[in-house]
Amino acid sequence: MKTNDYIKYMTQTLVKYADQPREERKRQRLERKQMKGSFWYRWFGILPYVLYSAVRRKRNFK
């Protein structure tokens, strides 16, 4: 990608973001945040996440 193309793309993206109402930007940010996996899953994979969930679930039943 040439420098001019990149600057044009970044400018268009920035203008598009700035033209949105504040509520729309907050809603989109919240949706992206909810779609992310938890910290344990993103950083360590599925096995530690399952173990952590099982221990946490076991503690809640006591």
The rounded Cα 35 to chain-centroid distance in angstroms is 6
Mean pLDDT across the stretch 5-34?
92
pLDDT in tens, 29-47: 999 888 887 776 777 778 8
Report the distance separating Cα 18 and Cα 30, nearest Å.
17
Work out how many domains the chain is built from and give that number. Answer: 1
User: For all residues of the chain together, what is the average pLDDT?
Assistant: 86
| Residue linked to tokens 């992206």 | 32
Fill in the DSSP letter of residue 20. S
Q: Could you tell me the sign of the dihedral formed by the alpha carbons of 40, 42, 46, 48, in that order?
A: negative
Instruction: Look up the domain containing 10 and give its range.
Output: 3-61
Fill in the DSSP letter of residue 62. -
Amino acid (1-letter code) at residue 24: E
